[in-house]
Every structure is written in C-alpha cells, then in structure tokens.
C-alpha cells in the first residue's frame, strides 16, 4: 500500500459528493470505486471491536460475493480480488479492503484511488488511524439547498425536516472539527457553488492543492458517471449524467417554506458565516433555532409524531 494514495470524499449527503467523485474519476491519474460503504460496514467496526460481520478466513469470500453493495464494482473485480487475496491470505477486513484498492488501481493503471461516502464525515478519526497517509476532500454546500435536496430524494422524504437540519449541522461540524485535527494539510475543503459556477477553475485549484496536474477530461465527467452510479441510484444521482447546472443551487427557493428557511438559517448560521452564504433576510425569527444545542435536533428528529410532516408543510 506504500505506492497507493487514497482520497476520501466526505460531505453532508446531497452536497455534491457524487459530482466530485465523478470529476476525479475522469482524471487519467485517478480511479474511483462505486460507493460500497466497505470501510464503514467492515473495516471500522472491526477496528472498534464491534459490528456483526467479524472477519473469518473461511467465510470472507462468500460474504464478498453476496454483498449487494460490493457487487457494484463488478464480478470481475471480486474474482480478481479473491484470487489475489488467496495468495496473500488476509487476516482482517482491512487487509481485504487494501487488496481490493490495490487490485482496482492496478487494473486501471493508476496509483490514486478515490473512495466516497458522505457518512465518512462521522468517522474521520478512525480513517486517519487506519489510513494515515490518505487525503480527505470535504465538499460543502448551502444548507438550504442540501435540506431541500434531501427532502426531494425518495430516501429523504420519509425523514423529518428537523432530522435533515440536524444531520447537516452535526456532520459539517464533525468533519470540520476532526478533519484538520487528524489529517492536517491533507484535509481540503471546497464549496459546491464554486465548483458548479466555475468548474475548470475550481478543479485546477483543487489539483494544485493535491500536487497533481489538472486535466480537461475532468469536465467530461458525465461520460464516466456510469462506472460509479448504480441503476438503483439514478433517481437521486442522475444529475451527474449531464453538465453542471449553477441554477440548481437556487432550487431551494421554490421548494422550502419561509419557516423552513428561517429554521435552517438560524440553526446553521455558523455555516453561513464561515462560507459566505447570503441569508434570505428572514433569519431574525429563526434565531431560536441557533440557540438550541445540536442534541435537541437529534431528539426532535426522533419524535416523528410531532415533527414528521408531509413535504411542503411548515414545521
């Protein structure tokens, strides 16, 4: 693994993590894996001594072949991984995962591998311990656009509005608190709005910070998106099959009620201040939301009887 470089993409779900993943995948020096959640489901629970999938030298192959998320990398990749692993006899899920990354990188003739999962924002200390040389790229988006997009997605409609607000506020704080602390200069941030407004310029700046050359193929990310987005994900990730749309950053204006906007702007005012997002002008009545500790949002999100409302209703 010394010659392999790993890049973890993190961000609150619906912040543009898939778009950035596809852009890096289109670079000739990178390859990205489809979203398998492998570290979060196998490697990190193993390191913590928790989880319900302990490693077994006699059953790990069977689990890989039956894993629905891992099927996204393709049967050829799983067969190749098993063949390589058989020779090296892995003794842990981390060993299996490292061999998967190495095999995948070798297959594509590169040494830079991109791993994307929005939930990595919550486990950065563990990732730093397991992969001390990795980079973390944190993409940040206007919280109003994120919440609106999450409410629009099929998987997000069944969750409460305050639950989405809590998720944004807590995960943004976690990543910005633990990322620099554990990864130092290998922790990078960029804004989604800058990426879609000026993709070439923002990607050039990102590549410069990573110490690599920018390649125009990154703008042709849509042609490579099919490598990464599974068919069942098209409903909420289908936008990566077309060109970037700066107008999409403002869709929240037609999708959120005034009360919802007030709540988001109050609860996430630190994000507005740190990333120069312009408030709507109605934030004064939402100041109550900023005064609540983050635990209150977690509690409110669980109280479905009180806070679970149909899409479009005032909270």
CATH of the domain at 295: 3.40.50.300
Written as one string, the DSSP assignment of the chain is -TT-EEEEEE-STTSSHHHHHHHHHTSTTEEE-----HIIIIIHHHHHT-SS----TTTHHHHHHH-TTGGGG-HHHHHHHHHHHHHH---SHHHHHHHHHHHHHHHTT-SEEEEE-GGGGG-HHHHHHH-TT-EEEEEE--HHHHHHHHHHSTTTTTS-HHHHHHHHHHHHHHHHHHHHHHHGGGEEEEEHHHHHHSHHHHHHHHHHHHTS---GGGGGGGGGGGGT--GGGHHHHGGGGS---GGGGGTHHHHS-HHHHHHHHHHTHHHHHHHTPPP-S-GGGGHHHHHS-HHHHHHHHH-HHHH---TT---
CB 44 within 8 A of CB 171: no
- Per the domain annotation, does 69 fall within a domain? no
CB 172 within 8 A of CB 12: yes
- Per the domain annotation, does 80 fall within a domain? no
Host domain of residue 19? 5-29+111-307
Distances (CA, A) of 248 to 84, 94, 197, 222, 277: 44, 38, 10, 17, 15
- Per the domain annotation, does 105 fall within a domain? no
- Per the domain annotation, does 46 fall within a domain? no
Q: Which of 79-88, 287-296, 304-313 has the highest mean pLDDT?
A: 79-88
Cα separation, 5 vs 204, in Å, equals 19
- Res 292: pLDDT: 52
Q: How much is the CA Rg of the chain, to the nearest whole Å?
A: 20
Determine the Cα angle at 266 with ends 260 and 272, to 5°. 105
pLDDT in tens, 210-232: 999 999 999 999 999 999 998 88
pLDDT in tens, 247-305: 888 899 999 999 999 999 999 999 999 999 999 875 554 454 544 554 555 555 455 43
- Per the domain annotation, does 133 fall within a domain? yes
**Partners of 138 in the β-ladder:** 10, 189
pTM attached to this predicted model = 0.87
- The total domain count for the chain is 1
**Residue 162 CA from chain centroid, whole number:** 20
- Res 81: pLDDT: 76
Beta-carbon contacts of residue 230 (< 8 Å; ≥ 6 apart): 34, 72
- Per the domain annotation, does 313 fall within a domain? no
State mean pLDDT over 229-241: 85
Distances (CA, A) of 211 to 32, 181, 182, 277: 18, 21, 20, 29
pLDDT in tens, 180-192: 999 999 999 999 9
- Per the domain annotation, does 187 fall within a domain? yes
- Per the domain annotation, does 182 fall within a domain? yes
Cα separation, 289 vs 264, in Å, equals 8
State mean pLDDT over 132-137: 97
């Amino acid at each position: 693994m010394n010659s392999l470089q790993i890049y973890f993409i993190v961000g609150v779900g619906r912040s543009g993590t898939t778009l950035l993943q596809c852009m890096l995948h289109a670079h000739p020096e990178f390859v990205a894996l489809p979203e398998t959640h492998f570290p979060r489901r196998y490697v990190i629970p193993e390191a913590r001594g928790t989880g319900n999938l302990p490693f077994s030298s006699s059953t790990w192959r069977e689990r890989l072949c039956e894993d629905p998320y891992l099927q996204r990398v393709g049967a050829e990749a799983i067969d190749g991984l098993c063949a390589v692993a058989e020779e090296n006899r892995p003794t842990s899920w981390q060993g299996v995962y490292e061999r998967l990354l190495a095999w995948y990188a070798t297959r594509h003739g590169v040494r830079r591998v991109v791993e994307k999962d929005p939930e990595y924002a919550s486990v950065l200390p563990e990732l730093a311990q397991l992969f001390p040389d990795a980079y973390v790229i944190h993409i940040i988006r206007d919280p109003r656009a994120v919440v609106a997009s999450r409410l629009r997605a099929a998987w997000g409609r069944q969750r409460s509005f305050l639950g989405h607000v809590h998720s944004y506020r807590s995960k943004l704080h976690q990543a910005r608190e633990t990322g620099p602390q554990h990864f130092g200069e290998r922790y990078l941030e960029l804004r989604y709005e800058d990426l879609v407004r000026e993709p070439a310029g923002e990607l050039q700046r990102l590549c410069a910070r990573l110490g690599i050359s920018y390649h125009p193929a990154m703008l042709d990310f849509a042609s490579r998106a099919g490598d990464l987005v599974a068919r069942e994900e098209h409903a909420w990730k289908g936008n990566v099959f077309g060109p970037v749309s700066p107008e999409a950053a403002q869709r929240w204006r037609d999708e959120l009620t005034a009360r919802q906007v007030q709540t988001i702007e109050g609860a996430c005012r630190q994000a507005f201040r740190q990333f120069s997002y312009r408030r709507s002008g109605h934030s004064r009545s939402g100041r109550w939301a900023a005064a609540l500790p983050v635990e209150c949002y977690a509690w409110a999100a669980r109280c479905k009887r009180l806070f679970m409302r149909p899409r479009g209703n005032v909270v």
